[in-house]
Structure 1
Amino acid sequence: MFRHHALGGVSVVALQLALLQPATIAHAQPAGELPSVTVDAPRAAPQRPARKPAGQARRATAARASKPAATPQPAASPASTANIDGGGVKGSFETPAAKQRFALPQESFSITAKQIDETINLKDPEDAVKYMPSLFVRKRNDGDNQAVLATRTWGLNSSARTLIYYDDLLVSTLLGNNNSAASPKWNLISPEAIARVDFLNGPFSAAYPGNSIGGVLLITSKMPDKPFATVKETVSVMPWSQYGTKDTYVTSQTSASAGNRDGKLSWLVSANYLDSYQQPLTYTTISSLTSIPTTTTGAFPARSKTGTEADVVGTGVLAHSQQTSGNLRLAYDVSPLVQATYSLGIWNNHQVSTPQTYLRDANGQLTFNNISTFASGRYIWDQTQMSNAIALKSDTRGTFDFDLSASSYNYLQDAQLNPYTVTATGTGYSQKGKIARLDGTNWQNADAKGIWRPFGYDGPHEVSFGLHGDRYRLENPTYATTVWDQATSTGTGQLYATGVGETRTGALWVQDAWKILPDLKLTLGGRLETWRALDGFNVNTIQSAAGAITQSLVTTQPQLSATKFSPKASLSYDLNRDWNVTANFGEAYRFPTVGELYQNLAVGTNIFLPNPLLKPEHDYTGELNLERHWSDGRVRLTLFQEKTFDALISQSTLVTNNTNGQQVTQTAVSNVDAIRMRGVELSADKDNVLVNGLQLFGSVTYVDSKILADAKWSAATTVVGKRVPYVPDWRAKFGATYRPNESWAYTVAARYSGKQYSTLDNTDIIPHVYGAFDSFFLVDMKIHYNATKNFAFDFGIDNLFNQQYTLFHPFPGRTFVLAAKYTF
């Protein structure tokens, strides 16, 4: 306890001392380093370079030694936009707008709309980060609504350990920390509305909560200052052959965007329609306990990831999804220095899954053989969700600027209908069923931020601070129904299960970026947070084989609360005009989500259990960065270590029914006493290598992860010394893009991920089976052709060599991608 308060005291004292430095230091700042603007700033400004070269800074210092402290510059004409193409290739080496505006200490990686168009087979917004260092998106199919972003030290089910923003809207679903109902709302975003994507590493800024342990992803929309419109049609084709399923799955997507500036008002409208047929996402498996007549054929002998028998008898989820999304964004210049924005988004999904059985009876007819888990793969799922976001921001370049924002996300409709079981013979389903609902689930976020420049713009101190509040509400009942595919909103009114609850967080933060010398910057900050979990309520039932409720358990869960302080520190030094070294440290707390505490959920054959007594996880992260940069490239070496106490880790176990041998996956979250991840990340990106137009990019990441202690582990195996679940040891990406002229771009890229475990004791050692987490090596290619000023065409192949691999689910094989785009 003393140590925590001591760290907080050091940060506060250092901040106060920093503010007492004489104003004359302001005279020593580089000339021409104009104030930065956010994407939504009401005034155009030249892009500020990522770092002022040391030599140039010294020359500028000498030139300005006799001038008074910097003063605000007069406003130019209003502008509310980012570059439509995000700044092209060189734009990816520029400092992200949010990092400039709040002097954030994190290191960043970026990609622009032009680069995305030329190098990535983009079918969904999350595809944009495909080649960023250390990042991986668990995208199982086109239009996947459960695609989680994995980062350097956190894996495929850590949705609450990254923050993803689309302009002022948080699209991370901090209702849970999983890769199902808590996955980010990527589908709300139209791919053609993206101007650029920036990733900020680690929990090193006080401006973000502990959910930034993995990092912060910022997606910026195209807000034009002149008329523009685009329409794009993309088709992907994937032949598939695994077990008894042989088919070709096709996805078509239409994406459009348009916008303009009319005086003080800027606007952007975007829309997207996707029609996707998907490969099997799950398989139906049985153990040796399942009774199958000797005359029934078609099962594929197989093992589970831990080596037990898990014969494959058919698919589980085999889905067809139709999705529609639309966005409206308005920006109005209240004055030349103040701008208001409003964003509205809506997303609709209609998804139908019909499983395929491989079994045939003695007469050669298809049969489920009374295996009830086939019913979990048969469903009708309808979702309609809406977002709203408002903001008011100033850009005076003076002593003070403000940034006010609020957003909400609402589940207007979310209902999944399933039959309860299958018929005794044939391939029919019971009339009785269940309906799982998330209607009424919602969250709100509000932030009030300020920037104080006590010695004027470009002075030695830039103090940012803010207040934050959020509320997350979970409503997740599952009702019994008499006719499963014609169910009313509450079925019969009988509850099979429910999970209800709420979390609230309030925060106060402050951060000072102190330019001690022109080449040396110290950033100190702290975040004070108070958290509550309340209204927790669960109903669990036991049912007969026919769906009748035989026993009910109703639980009112206890309230939880916590107050935590998180200090941050960063020291950055420009060795010369080309080299920089930066050390970052951040302490962070991630509070349990409402889903981890209260949600009891069944998704297909996967069952998620609540744990209402979880503690916040406590994280210490440090890194050392050495960077060499050019105008069109950079190389960065990062050494990092992260230690987490009371880590919130989910465990999935294949559970076999001892009566009938049928299998389901059961997942629960617990606090693991201590884990540690450390390693190295090397990344490089350079344009015009050897010849003009040849861009090379790549990264290699090694993580040595280890479980240090887990006193609650009660199994016969041990977990101490084992690798942390879902964190691969190696990740690597490399590629090349050649642009011989303005019309053509050719890209070849590869991605590698090492073995990862999904169990705490690392007993899941069987690869290439359903449920396993395989290593993989994938090669992609793309040809981009600008036929005219308005027409562009793409041809690409993802997973060129058709590697079959599973990350629990079977992942896509070789996929051919064709696209045509017209710009008005």
Structure 2
Amino acid sequence: MPRLNPLFIAIACTYPFCGYADTADAVELTSVAVQGTHTPLSRQDMAPSSDISAEQLQALTITTVEDALKSQPNVIVRKRYVGDPNATLGIRGSNMFQSTRSLVFADGMPLHYHLQTRWSGAPRWSVVAPNELEKLEVIYGPYSAEYAGNAMGGVINLTTKTPQKREISVNGALFQQDYDINGRDESLKGGRFFASYADKIGNWSLFGFYNHLENKGQPQSLFASSDSSDENPTVVSGGLRQKDAFGDDVIIYGDSGVVDTSTDLYKLKAVYQNDGFEWRNTIAYEQRENDTTDTRSFLKDANGDTQYGGHYIQNGTPFYATDSRSRFGDSRQDRNSLWLGTGITAPVSDHWYAKVDISQFSILTDERIRTSRKPSDPAFDGSENIQEFKGSGWQTLDTKLATDQLFNRADMSLSAGYHYDLYKLQINTGRYNPTNNEPQSSQPDSGGDTETQALFSQYQWRFADDWDVNVGVRYEQWRAMNGFRKEGQHPDRKEHAWSPKFAVGWQFAPGWSTRYSLAKATRFPIVEELYNNVDITLTQNIANAELKPEQGIHQNLNLSKQFDRAELSINLFYDRVQDTIFNQRIVNRRSTFLNVEQVNTKGAELTYDIHGLFHPSIDMIFNTSYTDARIARNSYTPESEGKQFPRIPEWQNNLIVTWHALPQVDLNSHVRRVSNSYNTLDNSDTESNVFGAIDAYTFVDLKANWQVTHQAKLALGIDNLLDEEAYVHHPYPGRTVILEGGYRF
């Protein structure tokens, strides 16, 4: 298979570009995504799904695009602060650190980041601006042959807007969080600015915009003591006596500091539409910076001098503060990315359509620099360390051919296609020279490539008025190659897998329907799991080039009822996954990716949406989900067998109530309730509301929308109204006030 030529994609994107102006104009805008064209290329009825419209999005405070998912059933996004680059995604029985078990697309182009996993594996949400989002769809599980085994959790399809007239739009937002925890009492502020130009010239829809976000996030890590037996400890004060996630007494002696984050997104789009033919082009350039320069040690000796590590005693309690002054060093990350995509949808003949999508995501720069000590430390010698991503990114190609009248029969439809992707990751480490802002010396540390080619086919037969059956199959050929670490090369690997799919649906009464879906899925390891070795001061992760692919059998039973003004949906699901890939601790501070032999997940989801609850001006969206994910077999850590799989809450609940108080004013409330979960395989971390815990929480969000004039709008939101303190290992944001405004010309 020849490599995709970046120049070809760049040329395809040099035409005029398109966009939209404002969410309030949803009625004037049409969708770029093929799902909106109602052709046979649309997803067939294989999988349960949940949709959220442009009107429903207005009820949520959306500072970054992943906020649009916070009301969806059995979906959780670990967003720790506004602008968090590591907002990882969990769906159903796939937790927020199993990001390779979810797929995220924007207008058919992939945003999922299948180079790394855990905290570093978040989708690249920030290449989509909130103001361009029209609607989204969540597809649960790997029931459609169109998607790879990475859809074990599910698929997120983001649809952006296409303008139908000339318009200039300006939007902005200000947000503020008051943070008063562990001795810090600060007002953390941020803002977002969006400006766009949209036009419609003949068959071309043209769009260009600039989106800027900057914010200060609360400290994400606390430094905790361990036991000490030193006979001559230094007497100190200032440490905070607390519990850790395991219920042990510790002294918190420092924090990682406020996070300064900023993102600049430049995006150009062009869509050509004519008589069923559509050509989509996108180019996006993103600049991100994350800086932390105010790490703090709480410890003071008798002379009032700050202490950064060693053996201490405070109020008669001896303890050890890890003697690693680099944890108090300043850190910064500079990341520049380029995203290119082009796609064509076209009628081939009567009732036959074809679709082709090509994309390339290039990490132009990704440098993570950290000083060896805190610059104010008298012992600081000016040295800095750097971690660089070199030549990393991915390329994808998707083709699809479909008809809604197979053999000229209106009761049969067929779709088939081909997929190709190539993921490349190389990490260099070394020293950094702050004098000339260039690496002083760096060398390849670890990296490698993965490549997948796949064929799929899906057939639907509506064999009776109230019955249909769907069958599909996906064949995938996977290669891992060019894997290396400092110690040497890894041998290349090549494997393949067949993944059959089946679904049957029955509309057994007016407005009532049910569907049973069954699928096999294979999720192959990604580059980080196979090749990425990390050795930093407090953590050492050893990659595992011998990992087995995950193999899952997934079942779902759906029951739905359509009422005049409401919709009810119930899903019961059961997943059995063998050889689940999970990072496990092997000794002291070392960990590695290992296969957990079997994890079983069962659960249920209920959603109920109604327009006109008690009164025509009141709408309600309610969903609740229960997920029981249990480790059935794990020979490496047998004490984990029978325990709840980490970072998967048993209960998730959402209630959104919207009151259309006036024709121009909507008042919205959103209550999110999530139960606690665990961070360890053996569920030994049982303490709540401390750093390191995975807490239960109830967040109450409010938002008021005011369409001042046809051109102007204002919105005021409060997230976490009750200022609840909760942790997802790291602290979630406290009460945050958001003021938004926009004007279109």
TM-score for both structures, normalised by structure 1: 0.82
Does structure 2 retain, via aligned residues, the 8 Å contact 1:339–1:393?
yes
Residue of structure 1 aligned with 2:143, choices 174, 191, 204: 204
Does structure 2 retain, via aligned residues, the 8 Å contact 1:380–1:485?
no
Q: Distance in 1 between matches of 2:82 and 2:435?
A: 26
Give how far 1:115 is off. Answer: 2.5
Question: In structure 2, do the counterparts of structure 1 residues 654 and 140 end up closer, same or farther at CA, with 3 Å as the change threshold?
Answer: farther
1:812 aligns with 2:733: yes
Does structure 1 retain, via aligned residues, the 8 Å contact 2:34–2:107?
no
Equivalence for 1:705:
629
Residue of structure 2 aligned with 1:406, choices 341, 344, 358: 358
1:755 aligns with 2:681: no
Equivalence for 1:113:
54
Q: Distance in 1 between matches of 2:36 and 2:137?
A: 9
Question: In structure 2, do the counterparts of structure 1 residues 280 and 112 end up closer, same or farther at CA, with 3 Å as the change threshold?
Answer: same
Question: In structure 2, do the counterparts of structure 1 residues 520 and 479 end up closer, same or farther at CA, with 3 Å as the change threshold?
Answer: same
Question: In structure 2, do the counterparts of structure 1 residues 526 and 443 end up closer, same or farther at CA, with 3 Å as the change threshold?
Answer: same
Q: Distance in 2 between matches of 1:113 and 1:363?
A: 61
Q: Distance in 2 between matches of 1:801 and 1:402?
A: 51
Residue of structure 2 aligned with 1:492, choices 408, 433, 441: 441
Equivalence for 1:533:
480
Question: Structure 2: where are the runs of 5+ without partners?
Answer: 1-17, 311-322
Give how far 1:266 is off. Answer: 1.2
My pick for the range that moved more, 751-760 or 205-214, is: 751-760
Query: Could you list the per-position Cα deviations for residues 567-603 of structure 1 after superposition, in whole angstroms to 9, with x for gaps in the alignment?
Result: 0111111123311111111110000001111112368
Three-state SS of the structure 1 residue aligned to 2:56 is: helix
My pick for the range that moved more, 442-451 or 255-264, is: 255-264
Q: Distance in 1 between matches of 2:713 and 2:586?
A: 48
Paired residues, number: 710
1:624 aligns with 2:557: yes
Q: Distance in 1 between matches of 2:184 and 2:586?
A: 26
Give how far 1:475 is off. Answer: 0.9
One-letter code aligned to 2:399: A
Question: In structure 2, do the counterparts of structure 1 residues 519 and 535 end up closer, same or farther at CA, with 3 Å as the change threshold?
Answer: same
Give how far 1:433 is off. Answer: 2.3
Does structure 1 retain, via aligned residues, the 8 Å contact 2:344–2:356?
yes
Give how far 1:184 is off. Answer: 0.7
One-letter code aligned to 1:645: Q
Alignment of 1:46-445 (within 5 A): 97=36, 101-104=41-44, 105-117=46-58, 119-180=59-120, 182-289=121-228, 293-333=233-273, 335-354=274-293, 355-369=295-309, 371-375=323-327, 378-395=330-347, 398-421=350-373, 426=377, 429-445=380-396
Three-state SS of the structure 1 residue aligned to 2:386 is: strand
Does structure 2 retain, via aligned residues, the 8 Å contact 1:601–1:608?
yes
One-letter code aligned to 1:492: S
Question: In structure 2, do the counterparts of structure 1 residues 667 and 577 end up closer, same or farther at CA, with 3 Å as the change threshold?
Answer: farther
Does structure 2 retain, via aligned residues, the 8 Å contact 1:422–1:430?
no
1:461 aligns with 2:438: no
Equivalence for 1:822:
743
Question: In structure 2, do the counterparts of structure 1 residues 359 and 99 end up closer, same or farther at CA, with 3 Å as the change threshold?
Answer: farther
Three-state SS of the structure 1 residue aligned to 2:151 is: helix
Give how far 1:558 is off. Answer: 2.5
One-letter code aligned to 1:792: K
One-letter code aligned to 1:802: D
Does structure 2 retain, via aligned residues, the 8 Å contact 1:339–1:392?
yes
One-letter code aligned to 2:465: P
Q: Distance in 1 between matches of 2:381 and 2:408?
A: 70
Three-state SS of the structure 2 residue aligned to 1:295 is: strand
Equivalence for 2:695:
774
Q: Distance in 1 between matches of 2:707 and 2:285?
A: 32
Give how far 1:452 is off. Answer: 3.1
One-letter code aligned to 1:767: S
Question: In structure 2, do the counterparts of structure 1 residues 232 and 173 end up closer, same or farther at CA, with 3 Å as the change threshold?
Answer: same
Identity of aligned pairs, percent? 24
One-letter code aligned to 1:398: D
Does structure 2 retain, via aligned residues, the 8 Å contact 1:607–1:666?
yes
Give how far 1:229 is off. Answer: 3.2
Q: Distance in 2 between matches of 1:475 and 1:310?
A: 38
Q: Distance in 1 between matches of 2:690 and 2:179?
A: 16
Alignment of 1:539-618 (within 5 A): 539=486, 554-601=487-534, 607-618=540-551
Question: In structure 2, do the counterparts of structure 1 residues 724 and 279 end up closer, same or farther at CA, with 3 Å as the change threshold?
Answer: same
Does structure 1 retain, via aligned residues, the 8 Å contact 2:468–2:506?
yes
One-letter code aligned to 1:536: G
Does structure 1 retain, via aligned residues, the 8 Å contact 2:308–2:328?
no
Question: In structure 2, do the counterparts of structure 1 residues 98 and 458 end up closer, same or farther at CA, with 3 Å as the change threshold?
Answer: farther
Question: In structure 2, do the counterparts of structure 1 residues 755 and 403 end up closer, same or farther at CA, with 3 Å as the change threshold?
Answer: same
Does structure 2 retain, via aligned residues, the 8 Å contact 1:284–1:374?
no
Three-state SS of the structure 2 residue aligned to 1:156 is: coil
Q: Distance in 1 between matches of 2:252 and 2:233?
A: 16
Q: Distance in 2 between matches of 1:800 and 1:613?
A: 48
Query: Could you list the per-position Cα deviations for residues 177-220 of structure 1 after superposition, in whole angstroms to 9, with x for gaps in the alignment?
Result: 2122x211011111111111111111110000001111111111
Three-state SS of the structure 2 residue aligned to 1:641 is: strand
Q: Distance in 1 between matches of 2:130 and 2:463?
A: 42
1:509 aligns with 2:450: no
Residue of structure 2 aligned with 1:736, choices 639, 646, 657: 657
Equivalence for 2:8:
none
Equivalence for 1:38:
none
Does structure 2 retain, via aligned residues, the 8 Å contact 1:766–1:772?
yes
Give how far 1:535 is off. Answer: 0.8
My pick for the range that moved more, 604-613 or 631-640, is: 604-613
Question: Structure 1: where are the runs of 5+ without partners?
Answer: 1-78, 540-553, 656-664
My pick for the range that moved more, 564-573 or 704-713, is: 704-713
Q: Distance in 2 between matches of 1:647 and 1:597?
A: 14
My pick for the range that moved more, 97-106 or 320-329, is: 97-106
Equivalence for 1:683:
607
Give how far 1:455 is off. Answer: 4.2
Query: Could you list the per-position Cα deviations for residues 264-295 of structure 1 after superposition, in whole angstroms to 9, with x for gaps in the alignment?
Result: 21112222101111100111222123979543
Q: Distance in 1 between matches of 2:142 and 2:240?
A: 47
Does structure 2 retain, via aligned residues, the 8 Å contact 1:407–1:444?
yes
Give how far 1:106 is off. Answer: 1.9
Question: In structure 2, do the counterparts of structure 1 residues 373 and 641 end up closer, same or farther at CA, with 3 Å as the change threshold?
Answer: farther
Equivalence for 2:313:
none
Task: Supply the RMSD in Å over aligned alpha carbons.
Answer: 2.7
Does structure 2 retain, via aligned residues, the 8 Å contact 1:316–1:374?
no
My pick for the range that moved more, 287-296 or 168-177, is: 287-296
Query: Could you list the per-position Cα deviations for residues 725-770 of structure 1 after superposition, in whole angstroms to 9, with x for gaps in the alignment?
Result: 1111111111211113321111111111112112111111122221
Question: In structure 2, do the counterparts of structure 1 residues 653 and 115 end up closer, same or farther at CA, with 3 Å as the change threshold?
Answer: farther
Equivalence for 1:15:
none
Three-state SS of the structure 2 residue aligned to 1:206 is: coil
Give how far 1:607 is off. Answer: 4.7
Question: In structure 2, do the counterparts of structure 1 residues 284 and 373 end up closer, same or farther at CA, with 3 Å as the change threshold?
Answer: farther
The structure with more strand, counted as a fraction of residues: 2
Q: Distance in 2 between matches of 1:639 and 1:362?
A: 62
Does structure 2 retain, via aligned residues, the 8 Å contact 1:770–1:810?
yes
Q: Distance in 2 between matches of 1:401 and 1:192?
A: 31
One-letter code aligned to 1:616: P
Question: In structure 2, do the counterparts of structure 1 residues 446 and 359 end up closer, same or farther at CA, with 3 Å as the change threshold?
Answer: same
